[in-house]
Amino acid sequence: MLDPYKYLIDAILRADLDAPRKKRHTAKRVFDRLVDEHGMDHVSYGRVRDYAPGNKRMDRSIKPGLYAEAHIPSYWRLEFDPAPSLVVSELYGARYREVVTATTGVITRIRLPFPIEIDPGTLHRA
């Protein structure tokens, strides 16, 4: 069961937000730390991988909260499944509100943090 370790994974991922990209934890490194430093021996790597870096939970809950605390006026989240889309949120008070979703095949005009017209279908993963 992963539940007792989720707060540790979250803490590692939060610390990684300030680290240079090449210094951030991979899911494998998070798993190894849980085993080595916290004695986790009954949870598979796959469970940690599904919960750890690059997951939707990080992009949908942890990052927006941290960015809102820093008063960043807008937050963009690029999704690739099932097709590329761009979800644009703006800061209202202490929380973000989704204001537009740009979808593949449609040119969408976005105003913050700078004006741009975009079709997410033209974007590709690196």
pLDDT digits (tens, 9 = 90+) for 12-38: 888 887 878 778 888 888 899 999 999
pTM over 0.75? The answer is: no
**The pLDDT value given to residue 53:** 54
Query: Whole-angstrom Cα distance, residue 58 to residue 115?
Result: 26
Higher per-residue pLDDT: 104 or 60: 104
Query: Whole-angstrom Cα distance, residue 102 to residue 78?
Result: 9
Helix 6-16 and helix 27-38, axial crossing angle in degrees, nearest 10: 130
| Mean pLDDT value of segment 103-126 | 89
**The pLDDT value given to residue 85:** 93
So where are the chain's domains?
Answer: 3-54, 72-122
pLDDT at 54 over 60: no
